[in-house]
Chain A
């Protein structure tokens, strides 16, 4: 089947460019009429972050903050923001990409300086907030990369590869989810599900064991906490291709939260939409699996227990009774298990027994 995105990549690019230009025009016009330019945007302070049960993600409240070039303390970040907008405009219109690290260094060419990487990252986040688009939309990507493998044909839109297609089984290590893949259009797939995996070792094992064929699945490696580009990619697989998403992580509070961020997003990205996949499922490893499959375990550390108590109060974890049940079980058994723990039953046990059972259970 041939697939069509809701919004074409080209359309989205035009939308972002228009937003950047309009931001620039607003500043220009204020200056031209002899005013100190200012801009207001939603506040990202913790008091203004709320959980929206309808959207099933964190959102920003009504509080807005004003940045004015009249205020000496705002002046430098304000200039950095205008610079970042210009830089992003140039990147996007020339269809080039940049990493957050690049942004930090590129500023120096404009005699703009950032104190450190954190300062430049914050400015990019400000720009996201003003535009309402994630940085990937204006071609700024993080360094972290994850991968995808399976029968999905994509069509590149990046310069030099425009129109070229690639099937994501073509490389046995998987294909990196970078700017080119993120901006590609989906052509066709035979898969009927997505399996997201926390760790590289298991991702490789699944490819070796032909999980993609046996289960008709696209395999996504999150490599720990999934980067935004990957979260956005998973969402697209879910929305555009209507594929259910199953997430496998380690059986501990941290693995559980990796799944949660894919499903409901993070507070840090409360100003952004389209990064969540609310229908995705956490398929394992659950605390109850540890008991049920008698997995080799380690004891929970103090920090694990502290984290569990935090998660217990988190609104995202109150959506589905599954979460509270698993948290309670963890706290009861005080043990955790890694995905590799299944190896005690042989290398293929996880693929032959556990995976089909869990896919069925969380369907």
Chain B
């Protein structure tokens, strides 16, 4: 996916031909992917201005398309930042037009999610898309658009400007697409539930084609700190990336070049590295030959003394929000959350957050329920291949007195500027040593907490049962012995019952 490739065919054309990559594999996946992409854009749009998201999604039936597929109209409304009018056509009508090519944690995948959905809709139904947006100013802009697939250009069919009397801010996207909702329903509902779990500050509303309303109400208005943009870490760059910065840099020597364009590279580190890689400090980066750039990329990876990346570019959910989300969606009897310290793999910082929940609405199905998230996006497909699942399977749960027949849910969230997805489908995380270690340590920590909860509860249960036994039998002994001895007054056993309790508290 280099630019060279894109020059040969239009990116829109490329993605249309390779729509599997973006998740539009079949009519059922397409409905799911369209909803998911637009919802995630909306979440990002609201979070970027620190507003708790309010997202309304409606999928309505428009007509039959074939024996297995139907035409649906999808409408997604948000209260996000809104799009300035001049960018609306390109933002929705030009593939790979995106603000997502900087290094910070983002939900979006290729910068084409929403557009891919629109493109898919246009291909399958030949209908234009309706975009309504306002940044909260005096006007609301309304566009009717189609994409010129060959030229990768928006075609504006209609444009209206409305007065924004109520000061509305946000974006509404509405378009038609072909799909199979019945088959996608399960995944879509699961997607909303899990999205609500890791975005507990969001209101999500979904109206399905049958008119059923699903509402996920926010449990807090606290939001995680937004990620900061950072420079790339030297471990994470490749030749292509080096060439691009060399083209745009204003530095005329290697020392400044390293200090200016790389994350956590100061004077000392830069000098040490240049010495290590035998490059002169005063060398003009623009004069590096291709071979020298290749060698530079290699040396950047080999040098051991770069400082590890800072995690300020990451936006983990945080233990409190994760706890809130899990409590809200699973209503468990117990939840433990744990956030690992930032770590890195191949120069990419990442943070693992895990939670374990017990009881409540968690089903007992002979296996743990596993919820996987990456950058606050639920991963719903290919569970068996995910590193989290492998880690969970490799843990000796008996050590924690936890068995698969218990109602236990395990939540793993990894956030990173570059999530190590295994495939382009971006549905599961690759088994990388550093990632695996963080997940395993995180799960062990929360498993220990669950173990403590279970043993404490067992103790309380046992104690309650014990007192119950006294409460059941002592009065009977009193009654029977009164009758047997021919006495009139039944002895009072209350004092004994109290002492049974006291006795136990002392006895531990």
Residues on A lying within 8 angstroms of B by beta carbon are 20-21, 23-25, 27-28, 31-32, 34-37, 69-70, 72, 75-76, 78-79, 82-83, 85-86, 89, 110-112
Separation of A34 and B473 alpha carbons in the complex (Å): 15
Q: Is the CB of A75 within 8 A of B480?
A: no
List B contacts of A27 (CB < 8 A).
477, 481, 484-485
- At the interface, yes or no: B290 with Cβ under 8 Å from chain A? no
A28-B482, A34-B496 as given contacts; A82 in contact with B477, CB under 8 Å: yes
Q: Is the CB of A75 within 8 A of B469?
A: yes
Separation of A27 and B493 alpha carbons in the complex (Å): 12
List B contacts of A25 (CB < 8 A).
481, 484-485
A-B contacts, 29 listed (Cβ < 8 Å):
A20-B484, A21-B486, A24-B483, A24-B486, A25-B481, A25-B485, A27-B477, A27-B481, A27-B484, A28-B481, A28-B491, A31-B481, A31-B496, A37-B481, A69-B474, A69-B477, A70-B503, A72-B466, A75-B469, A76-B473, A79-B473, A79-B480, A82-B476, A82-B481, A83-B476, A83-B480, A85-B484, A86-B480, A86-B481
Q: Which of B477, B485, B491, B495 is the one whose CB lies under 8 Å from A78?
A: B477
Using A24-B481, A37-B477 as known contacts, list a sample of 8 further A-B pairs with CB atoms less than 8 Å apart, ordered by residue number in A: A24-B483, A24-B486, A31-B491, A75-B469, A75-B474, A76-B473, A86-B481, A111-B476
Q: Which of A21, A78, A86 is the one whose CB lies under 8 Å from B473?
A: A78
A273 to chain B, nearest CB (A): 24
Q: Which of B473, B482, B484, B486 is the one whose CB lies under 8 Å from A69?
A: B473
Q: Is the CB of B476 within 8 A of A36?
A: no
A19 to chain B, nearest CB (A): 11
- Closest residue of B by beta carbon distance from A73: B469
List A contacts of B484 (CB < 8 A).
20-21, 23-25, 27-28, 82, 85-86, 89
- At the interface, yes or no: B487 with Cβ under 8 Å from chain A? yes
Query: Would you list the 8 A-B pairs with minimal beta carbon distance, nearest first?
Result: A24-B484, A27-B481, A24-B485, A25-B485, A31-B491, A32-B491, A79-B473, A28-B481
Separation of A83 and B470 alpha carbons in the complex (Å): 16
B459-499 vs A: 1/0 string, CB under 8 Å? Answer: 00000001001100110111011111111000101011000
A251 to chain B, nearest CB (A): 49
List A contacts of B476 (CB < 8 A).
79, 82-83, 110-112
- Closest residue of A by beta carbon distance from B493: A31
List A contacts of B496 (CB < 8 A).
31, 34-36
For window 205-261 of chain B, which residues contact chain A by CB distance below 8 Å?
Answer: none
Residue picked from A31, A78, A111, A112, most chain B C-beta under 10 Å:
A31
Separation of A213 and B441 alpha carbons in the complex (Å): 93
A192 to chain B, nearest CB (A): 45
List A contacts of B485 (CB < 8 A).
21, 24-25, 27-28
List A contacts of B482 (CB < 8 A).
28
List B contacts of A86 (CB < 8 A).
480-481, 483-484
Separation of A20 and B485 alpha carbons in the complex (Å): 8
A24-B485, A69-B473, A72-B466 as given contacts; A82 in contact with B480, CB under 8 Å: yes
A59 to chain B, nearest CB (A): 28
